[in-house]
Chain A
């Protein structure tokens, strides 16, 4: 399902297996648990890199599991459960006392893209993988904290429209041009991971205070953090 390794200063969180890494209550709980582990083991200079195996970074919530409830009401309840239980994963990434980098090995859709965007830096491949907010195509409403993430992290109304309203499948080069990801200059999964490790190591070398880092990160996104019920722990001072 997912693993957490330590490589020097770097924590490497991997969604394992060749599947779509859909978020389901069990995977959500696993990821949350590993993030808590990383947090408890963090020191100055820690950095998190998140990646996945196979063709997908994550293809979103497990809609099949929702449908398997057997009734309309049941399906809606299961969707609601996933939406609500996923919020703490996003919150945990925003609170993580270390820089975070997403290394997209492949497609990131819906909550999978949310997961990616919750990181401080996002790298993807230029040869494979698209970013896609499927909700408009599936006729699913966007949870409020999803909308807040896009408003916070994606700077132009054109980029937000392309993703959320046009339902566009965006490849690496365009994702960089739209300001959605930091880099797509990598034409293999090894390439993107190597680049994130390199960035990770240069950030680790700063030996930053993780609590201060998390506090400054949260102050950049006040609207989104309010929605995730996050507050900065340290009071501001000159």
Chain B
């Protein structure tokens, strides 16, 4: 499912196994439990989190087959991912996603919920697949996109054109911070970046609160039970 290692001041959270790492309730609980352990570690305010995965996928999104078989699980997955992203936003340490495989839909949102996105450029893409499968994107997903992708054209390319974003395009769009020649090099890059951040000396508590302020709109969207339409009506925020 997922493992948590400590390497010096770095926490390495890995989605294990060769599958699609679909964000089903079990995996989401597992990740949240790991985040909880990180949070309660006394060294956490001087640490950095790196999230990565094994195999061809970072995460291919929600388990839609499961949702189809039991609609209550669809609600559970949405609820658990909201909590996880809120956890990541309030986490008292910098976070790095080492994207070593495809990240689609909810999986893309998970990657974007990190402060830094490092990605391999030899394969894999970031993909908001909903348009292609005929699903409306949850309003809170769009809030993440709007918070993390600055250019209106890039947002449109991601969400409306459903572009399969390679690392190179991700760099152009400002979604990806840096790219690497292979999965191993991406993780290595994340470790180097993590160590650099640790060396700089960050007060994790202050960092976490600043991130919450920066991503206030996302937390608001996560916390609301609004559907897309309510979100539009109640939005008093600047676009």
Contacts and interface: CB of A to CB of B under 8 A. Distances in A.
Contacts of B229: 231-233, 235
Contact of A212 (B67, B106, B135, B138): B135
A215 B145 CA distance: 16
A22 interface: no
Q: Is the interface of B mostly helix, strand, loop or mixed?
A: helix
Contact of B159 (A220, A223, A233): A220
B138 A238 contact: yes
B74 interface: yes
B62 A238 contact: yes
Contact of B228 (A151, A206, A234): A234
Contacts of A173: none
Q: Which of A120, A206, A215, A222 has the most CB of B within 10 A?
A: A222
B130 interface: yes
A4 B110 CA distance: 43
A175 to B, nearest CB: 12
A224 interface: yes
Interface residues of A, number: 38
Contact of A215 (B81, B106, B136, B237): B136
A66 B239 CA distance: 32
B228 A238 contact: no
Nearest to A99: B160
B235 A226 contact: yes
Contacts of A91: none
A236 B239 contact: no
Contacts of A224: 239
B161 to A, nearest CB: 8
Nearest to A153: B152
A218 B228 CA distance: 9
B136 A206 contact: no
A230 interface: yes
Question: Which of B67, B142, B152: most chain A Cβ within 10 A?
Answer: B152
Contacts of A217: 160
Contacts of B227: 232, 235-236
Given A231-B233, A235-B228, A237-B138, 6 more contacts: A179-B152, A182-B153, A220-B159, A223-B237, A232-B139, A234-B136
Interface of B: 62, 64, 67, 74, 77-78, 81, 106, 130-132, 134-140, 142, 145-146, 150-153, 155-156, 159-162, 227-229, 231-233, 235, 237-239
